[in-house]
Amino acid sequence: MEKSTRFKIGMVWYYREDYDAILRIMTDSHKLPQSFDVWLAEAEQDEDNLKQDGYTVVRTRIDPKMFSGWCRSQGLNADFEARMGFANFIVKQSAGSSHRKHI
């Protein structure tokens, strides 16, 4: 069955220069690859898989300082659930702002 509508999904995206700080702030850093290059290879494969499944993937940068502040403001631990929530929050926020531009 082919999807007629492409759903947008936020995908957590790290920058090389932020990765060491990411590992320091995440409460579940033991679940993340210890190397940026390993993370990048896995992330690119995951992104390809999502695109093949019909999703529009929106890379969402996780800036360590901004993300830590967002987690505090939401009362969340800096973990997998918070990362996914943040990525999808950014996607929804950007969809809302682009919708308002067209009104």
* 10-residue averages of pLDDT along the chain (103 residues): 66 97 97 97 97 94 95 96 93 67 40
Residue 7: per-residue pLDDT: 85
3 is a domain residue: no
Q: How many other C-beta atoms lie within 10 A of the C-beta of residue 94?
A: 14
Please count the structural domains in the chain: 1
Domain that holds residue 55: 10-101
4 is a domain residue: no
5 is a domain residue: no
Nearest to 63 by CA among 13, 10, 24, 102: 13
